[in-house]
């Protein structure tokens, strides 16, 4: 599975969009991009995933560049409850299902 | 009620003791996983199971063993606990597809003195 690179920390003002970047320059054609978040030592929570096209659900949007070497998770209207560590994970569709977590980005949403 | 439960939620034990952490799920998923998390780090996979008869080692299986007693239950054992196994332990489940999202339990905080 491809390795990912994320900034260690980011701040965002409450009510504004939070844009969390992820680089995965060695991603291959059958690998998906997943995002999870972990709020204060709770179990990680799935947010969204995608292969090539941009994806949106009730929690967030995922923008994947055309060359698929990077992506951005967008929380459109961040709230204080979105303060968490966000993990970007690249995983093959034939993968055994195991997730390989890096250190993620700590997002601090400020009033 | 939570879909993935873990017991105990907190445990303090002594070096050399045998410890079992239990995970139960009501999601009907075939796949179950055990991860550990050390302070400031991401999760690392210990063991995973695709069904009752299937057990696989993850990145850091040394010092641990698992048992898949039923589709809904997956237990993690530390045969002889040591201090560097002090960590937060998470159980997770997923559907049979390799692309499926994983659902995590609330975690067990284990301290080995």
With bands split at pLDDT 50, 70 and 90, how would you rate the model's confidence at A2? low
| Cα angle: A21, vertex A3, B84; to 5 degrees | 105
More confident residue, B40 or B27: B27
Q: Three-class SS of residue B32? A: strand
Inter-residue contact B47 to B57 (CB < 8 Å): yes
**B74: contact with A, CB 8 A cutoff:** no
Give the model confidence (pLDDT) of A45-88 as tens digits. Answer: 999 999 998 999 999 999 999 999 999 999 999 999 999 999 99
Under an 8 A CB cutoff, do A99 and B102 touch? yes
Q: Which two tokens stand for residue B113?
A: 């003195």
Q: End-to-end CA distance of chain A, in Å? A: 37
More confident residue, A20 or B50: A20
**A32: contact with B, CB 8 A cutoff:** yes
Mean pLDDT of chain B: 92
CA B68 to CA A68: how far, in whole Å? Answer: 38
Which of A32, A92, A104 is opposite residue B42, by nearest beta carbon?
A104
With 0-12 / 13-18 / 19 or more C-beta atoms within 10 angstroms meaning exposed / middle / buried, residue A111 is: exposed
Q: Which of A48, A98, A103, A104 should we substitute to test contact with B (largest number of B Cβ atoms within 10 Å)?
A: A98
**A16: contact with B, CB 8 A cutoff:** no
Average pLDDT over residues B79-105: 89
CA dihedral B21, B27, B33, B36 (to 10 degrees): -60
Q: Which residues contact B104 (CB under 8 A, 6 or more apart)?
A: A43, A44, A45, B4, B90, B91, B92
CA A93 to CA A87: how far, in whole Å? Answer: 18
**B99: contact with A, CB 8 A cutoff:** yes
């Amino acid at each position: 599975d491809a390795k990912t690179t994320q900034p260690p920390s980011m701040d965002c003002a409450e009510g504004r969009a939070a844009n969390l970047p992820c680089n995965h320059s060695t991603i291959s054609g059958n690998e998906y991009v997943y995002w999870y978040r972990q709020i204060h030592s709770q179990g990680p929570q799935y947010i969204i995933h995608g292969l090539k096209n941009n994806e949106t659900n009730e929690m967030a949007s995922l923008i994947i560049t055309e060359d698929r070497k990077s992506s951005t998770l967008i929380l459109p209207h961040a709230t204080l409850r979105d303060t968490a560590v966000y993990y970007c994970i690249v995983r093959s569709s034939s993968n055994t299902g195991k997730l390989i977590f890096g250190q993620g980005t700590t997002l601090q949403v400020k009033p | 009620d939570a879909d993935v439960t873990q017991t105990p939620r907190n445990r303090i034990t002594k070096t050399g003791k045998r410890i079992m952490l239990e995970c139960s799920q009501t999601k009907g998923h075939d796949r179950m996983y055990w991860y550990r998390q050390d302070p400031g780090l991401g999760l690392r996979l210990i063991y995973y199971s695709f069904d009752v008869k299937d057990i696989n080692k993850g990145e850091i299986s040394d010092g641990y063993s698992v048992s898949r007693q039923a589709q809904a239950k997956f237990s993690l054992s530390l045969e002889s606990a040591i201090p560097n196994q002090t960590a937060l332990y998470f159980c997770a489940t997923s559907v049979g597809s390799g692309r499926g999202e994983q659902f995590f339990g609330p975690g067990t905080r284990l301290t080995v003195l």
